[in-house]
Structures are given as structure tokens and as C-alpha cells.
Structure 1
Amino acid sequence: MSRPQDPHRPFFPFGNPFRMILPKGSYLSPRLLALLNAFEETLAERLRKLKPKDKDEVLSLSWMKLAMELLCETHNDIKTLITDLELPVCDWDEKWIDVYLDNSVKLLDICIALSSEISRLNQGHLLLQCVLRNLDSTSPTQFVRAQSSLDGWRQHISSRNPRVENCCAILESLIESLNLPKVKNSAKGKVLMRAMYGVKVGTVFVCSVFAAAFTGSAKKLTDLSVPDTLLWAETFTELQTNVNGEIRNIFSSGRGTVLKELEAVDVSVKKLCPMIQEGVDPVEAEGLQNLRSDLGRRADKLSEGLDLLTKGVDSFFQIVLTGRDALLCNLRASNTVFDPVNVDEQAVR
């Protein structure tokens, strides 16, 4: 796997996975080929929509919300493909099931970690509201309280969330599983595994961007190299190069905060602090109120963005959980052999 000290090296340690999934000489019927092409073309279009129009979109909450929405749509696409393939669970190879169940647990863990960080960031909104209330007055006592709340906010925002830090290890294990089990004597299985590969690549990319944003570390970014024979390969490579490159530029600039809306709030806070500490005379009172209004607008925009992103992550969690539950129900109904103890323990983590 990619070494932490060498984040720019493309990750592709296992060779071309499609030597296993679609080996030379494999035949797909026109119907199966049409299903696969439709899936990959849709995936390419979703990735194309995610390409930022300009660098300011990268690590904005609106872009992250869009990324999560497209991820949800892609995971729904794989459910539709499974139905269209008419490939019942009883015909699934046991290794496919193991990979699916294991990956779904990892994705649920990532969702929980991301949700906890979004919630933590949103808690800072309460401190900003205290600042705004205390700035309604120009009394020295209120200024002291406002300064205390500002200090609390900055300390809160700069703290680290261990759950998000652990996302890196989970992502690394997901990358290792990109090397899918070999498919024998099943054209439908080959289509399914190739489609799942695309879903996993997109998922790892988005989750690694979120992990980098929330940890403040470019080392959490992942550079994946995919076979150029895939219909979505060129679009994905351009997207990954564009987004990861800009994120690394943001980190190298030494900014204390990298989320765009959070950075905007921090700019307002830095302008307010000196004025509050030095006191405000009547001439400066209007300037203080302008800064207060500016902080209020930016704080509300940050809170609204975090709320929308929370809904996106929750939706993704539900899609993964629903798909996992459906598979488990089908397994029980078909008496397919799997490890129920391990599955049940992981599902409730």
C-alpha cells in the first residue's frame, strides 16, 4: 500500500484486477455488455459532475454535499444492476459475499466517524452565538465574555477527533480489497465484480477527501491508478488529479482551517479579536457591528452547510445499511453459508 511518507505515488500494488475479472478471451452477451456499459457511462457522468468548476469549490461544504449525493446515487446504481443482472444471492460466490459484507461494515464505520466530526464542528456554532449575543452591548463585561467564547471556539475547532483519525486505517483496508476475488464461469459475476470495482474506487476517493478535510492532513489522500480500458477511467483520473492537487496546495499554504465555510468564519473571528481586546470607542462602534453582522452571516452559512452534509452522510449510511440487511435476509432465506457470529458482531459496532 502507499506509504505515508510518499503520498503522491499512485496506488496500484496488485497489478491489473481485470486480468481476474475480465480475462483475455472472456465473452459477454450483448445484453450483459449493454448493462455494463450503461453502468460505467453513468458512473463517468457522476464523476464528471463532481469536477470542480474552479479551485474555490474544492473542500467547500456544497461540493462535499454533492460528492456524498453522487456517492449515494452510485451505490443505488449497483443495487439496480444486481436486479437487472437477475443474479440471485444463491448464485453468488461465497468470496463475493465475504467482500461485500466486510466492505459494508467498513463503510458504516466511516459514516459514523464522519457524522461525529460534522456534529463536533456544528457544536462550535453555539459558541459563536454566544459571541454574537455578547456583542450586542459594548460594555467591558460583555466584551470579556465574547472574547472567552471566541477563544473557546478556536480551541474547539483546532482539536482532533480520534474517530476521524482512524478512518485512514479503514480506507487502507478498503484499498487492499480492490483486488477482487477471481470470477470463474460466470459472465454475470464478472460484470458485477467490475461494476463493484468502480463503486469502490469512487467511494474510496470521496471518503479519503473527507478524511483529509476533517483531519487537516494531506496524508489521508489516496491516489488510485485505474485501468484505462474502463469507460470512466479518464474522467476519474482527471477528477482525482484536480481535487487532490488543489487540496495539497491548500495544505501546503499553511492554512489553519481548510473547509471553505469554516475558513470564512475564522477570518471574521481574527478580525474581531483585536477590536474586542482593545475596546471600542464610539467612533469604532459601527465597524464592530459590521464585523458582528459579517460573522453572523458566515456562522449561519457554516451551520447550514454542516446540517446539509449531515443529511447526506446519514443517507449514505442508510443506503449501505439497507443493502447489507437485504443481502443478509436473502442469505438466511437461501440458507447460504456464512459466518453469522462475525457478521452480527460487526453490524452492531
Structure 2
Amino acid sequence: MNMNRLGRTNIDVSEFCLGSMTWGTQNTAEEAHDQIDRALDAGINFIDTAEMYPVNPVSAETIGRTERIIGLWFERDMRRGDVVLATKHSGEGMAAVRDGAPISSDTIAETVEGSLRRLKTDYIDLYQFHWPNRGSYMFRKNWAYDPSGQLMLDTQNHMEDALGALQDEVKRGTIRAFGLSNESAWGTTKWLEVADRVGGPRVASIQNEYSLLCRLYDTDLAEMSLHEEVPLLAFSPLAAGLLTGKYQNGAVPAKSRMSLSADLGGRKTDRAFTAVDAYLEIARKHGLDPTQMALAWCKTRPFMGSIIFGSTTMEQLEVCLGAIDLELDDAVITDIDAAHRQHPMPY
């Protein structure tokens, strides 16, 4: 398993990261623990979670359940040192968490403590803000995104306030590094500027959606990642399962994500299915599994820190693990590039 440095920290993470957002709704604790065991056996050292998990659906009754499941695994196996653990602080508008309060110095300490308690650990390796207070163009909001109502002074004051609280956590030893999620190039560079000016942990990574079907990151964020040493942690690299091909021709497998979220968070469009057909044909042409091809392609991107994938069955997990040693040749990359030009941003 290849390892990548997490920004300018001294933390090395595996090229693939085990996602956990279904643990507690679609997966039992026992199934989650089996996934962790198998992923670690395969060389993965990185697990990503969030205080609001599990999803499908998010509810007040299940908030924190995924972290508790991971905590039970730590308690059972006593292997905390074998895992780089990432979790996230929910942002403004999530009514089921702190009544939708925005991220601030008033929420950070209590939220860190809550995660530590559920995770049964003394420290979090990577503590991420799930989305920015000012809003985000992620999750299909890019089509109508309008930042004109943002106030620069409010944003700057918030960043200074939050970084001060995060630095207190670093001093306490409760977090090792700080990351962003669902952020923009401008937002990330502002966080970096504020950290340089007033102190606080420097942004180590950014976790945004990225796949063959969702390549917003390829433009300004890619340049920022490389020059500022803020690697991408790619979530939904299989486009919520679309790139596996399991939803083609109207199929909705039982217990699949589409059976729980009919539009796959806005990803289900006619153009998406047409694009998936093109990528499935490339996989057939080159004798590749489409899931493994999609994951292996993410490895080729120069800004990639780690690729976060999730599975609801061990069979799915085994397929995904098959991408660890898969290297795509130039002919495959050329065909993928051509398909992307024909089917850019299909949702």
C-alpha cells in the first residue's frame, strides 16, 4: 500500500481510506468491525468518520452512532496506534446536531470532547470542518451558487476564532491536525493565510467529492492543492455507486443507497447514466472491473492524498481492495480522458 504525507504534518496515510458513513444504519457494528479488520489486513491505516454519521438517513436518534461503533472496535482490539483516525465537526444548518449552530470557539471544545468520548480515544489524528459556515457550492449547489452575500470581515473573524480554539485542542493533545471538507480554493487559501498571520493549525487536507463523474476539483482546487501542499481526500469516488454500473437500465438493488435516497443526492440524471455507459465500455474494452478502474483512476491524480470508499458488504469491500495494486496504462487513461470530454459534469 502506498503512503502519502498529510500536508505538512508528520502523518502518513494510506492511499485508500475506509469510509464509515453507513455504519449504524446500513451496517451493524459487527459488520463494521469486520470491515476494519479486513481493511487493516490489506494495508489501509486510515478511517474517516463524522459526528453526524451514520447517514441514510441522518437523524437525531442516530447522531454519533458511527463514532461509537469505531470506539467499540478500539476498545475490543486495543489497536488505536495502527489507525489514522479522521472525524468531522458538523457545520451550520444541521438541525439534528447542536440545533444547527455554526462552527465557533463555543462549539469546538464540546464537539471534540463528544467525539473523543464516543470514539474511546484520547486524540483525533485529523479533525475536519464538515462544510464552511458561509456555505458551499458542493452537493450540486454549484449550479446556482452565489457568494455575493458573504461578508469578508465575518469570514475572517470566524477563521481567527476557530483557529484559536483548534490551537487550544492541539496544545491539549486532543487533535494532531486540522482539515477542511466541502471547501473552495478561495476558502482554503484564506484559512492558510489566517493561520500564517495569527497562528493555529495549518490546513493539512481538504475532503471534497471527486470521481470520474464529479471533477470540480480539477481546476483551481488542484492548483491550490499542489502549491500549498493541501492534498485531496476524495469522497464518493464511485459517485454513490453509479460508477459500479449497478444502477444502469433502471436497476435499484435492494438495500442499495438508491433504495434509500432515490436521487442519490442529486447525482441521478439521464446524463449521468449515459456517462456511466461510456466508462463501463472502457472497462469492458480493457478487461477491467469498473469499480476498480474508477478507484485506480483517482490514484493517478497529482493532488490526491487518499481515496475514501465505503462498502455495505464484504463482497463490495473485496472488490474495492482490488484497486490497491491496479495501475492503469496509458491507453486506459486516454480513453477515460476522451469520455470525460464527451460527458463533463453530468450532474
Instruction: Please state which band the TM-score falls in when normalised by the shorter chain.
Output: under 0.3
Scaled by the length of structure 2, what TM-score is found? 0.25
Larger Rg: 1
The structure with the largest helix share of the pair is 1
The structure in which a higher percent of residues are strand is: 2
* Higher normalized contact order (CA 8 Å, seq sep 6+, divided by chain length): 1
